Amino acid sequence: MMMTSCLTPPKCAMASSSANTTINNSNGNYVHNYKKAFMPQRELRYQEITHSMPSQKIEIFKYLEDWAEHNILIHLKPVHKCWQPQDFLPDSRTTGDTDGFLEQVKELRERAKEIPDDYYVVLVGNMITEDALPTYQTMLNTLDGVQDETGSSPISWAVWNRAWTAEENRHGDLLNKYLYLTGRVDMSQIERTIQYLITYGMDPGGENNPYLGFIYTSFQERATAISHGNTAKLAKEHGDLKLAQICGTIASDEKRHEAAYTKIVAKLFELDPDFTVISLAHMMKKQITMPAHLMYDGRDHHLFHHFSSVAQRLGVYTTNDYADILELLLSAWKVETLTGLSPEGRKAQDYVCGLAPRIRKLEERVQLRDKRPLTSVPISWIFGRQVRVI
């Protein structure tokens, strides 16, 4: 760790707690911690366990290399067939008719006026989640047996990782440019949040284990498909059909990605059901953390909670969606009818098969018990205006 030592606290020690990079060590000396400014202010939960997949299982992924080419890469679209952000945005090219661009921006801003603040909080949160894409590509490349070991590796898993990232890159790009043009949001605060989020990374508990990693991505792709699908629905209700089309188009990409990741895990269930069901139970016990759970804007230490709370209130992504996703994946992977499992595997099977009803019951109880009135919090993305949170 890079640290410098001194007897009196340097000036930075007097700064606000989030900027304070000076700590008192066991000798009573002040030391400068250069990492602190770049680390999340909250405790990371899943740092201890790494490389948890038994090394011989790497052979499974080598064996599946050919299978992945013919069964997974087919869920990608060739670049020339892909939509691009420009297809949905005012065209800024100078063609002798620059007013056309200004006119389109004006229309976009007129439509954007009709949409309430809390919708923007959710749309911005979704956009920031997409824009932290470098973190997700890093995460995929930590998984043993499927990494891109050179940066341009020709193995199917690496081709998937890069092409998946390239497809995903259009999501944040489109939403970011769209939101910039609306004039409804504070882009400086949004950009700051993206920088913090990429700096902080994520803590999903993947343990470099592709079983856990692909269970996580199956879940997440479905979650993002639901979330973008619901922002599309709400945009339509607010009369903005173009924004509805943007969110709906992104949602359909997420569904293609979901199909690929779900298929990988289905194959693991076919080849190695015991370890796969144990991995599923292990991941569900940790709970699937959202990719942007470490988001911070330099002001609100509960920003992710506030964003998810508004998403829950608007019905964009809810606890019941979480339970629905689990049920859908269990049925896609036919977990209930798995046979020939070890005692540990059967225990894992029982646990995951009973989990969705338990989540729903718990949520019902929370709703019944929670009679607190909604409170309002300021959100920097919308210039500090207040939104109601649960």
The answer to whether residues 182 and 383 touch, using CB atoms and an 8 Å cutoff, is no
Residues in contact with Fe ion, shown as a per-residue x/- string from 197 to 236 under the rule CB under 5 A? ------------------------x---------------
Annotated binding-site residues for Fe cation read 130, 168, 171, 221, 254, 257
Least distance from Fe ion to the Cβ atom of residue 225, Å: 8
How far apart CA 305 and CA 317 sit, in angstroms, is: 13
Choice among 32, 67, 83, 203 that is catalytic: 83
207 flagged as catalytic: no
Least distance from Fe ion to the Cβ atom of residue 151, Å: 22
83 flagged as catalytic: yes
The answer to whether residues 214 and 247 touch, using CB atoms and an 8 Å cutoff, is no
The answer to whether residues 30 and 13 touch, using CB atoms and an 8 Å cutoff, is yes
Least distance from Fe ion to the Cβ atom of residue 288, Å: 14
Binding span for Fe ion by CB under 5 A among 36-44, 105-113, 161-169, 318-326 = 161-169
Per CB under 5 A, 258 contacts Fe ion? no
The answer to whether residues 214 and 265 touch, using CB atoms and an 8 Å cutoff, is yes
Per CB under 5 A, 254 contacts Fe ion? yes
Per CB under 5 A, 257 contacts Fe ion? yes
Least distance from Fe ion to the Cβ atom of residue 129, Å: 8
Binding span for Fe ion by CB under 5 A among 31-39, 164-172, 188-196, 336-344 = 164-172
CA-atom Rg of the chain in angstroms: 23
Given candidates 131, 168, 297, 300, which one binds Fe ion under the rule CB under 5 A?
168
253 flagged as catalytic: yes
Q: Select the residue whose beta carbon is closest to Fe ion and give its number.
A: 171
221 flagged as catalytic: yes
Least distance from Fe ion to the Cβ atom of residue 234, Å: 18
The contact set with Fe ion (CB under 5 A) reads 130, 168, 171, 221, 254, 257
- What amino acid positions are annotated as catalytic residues? 83, 130, 168, 171, 221, 224, 253-254, 257
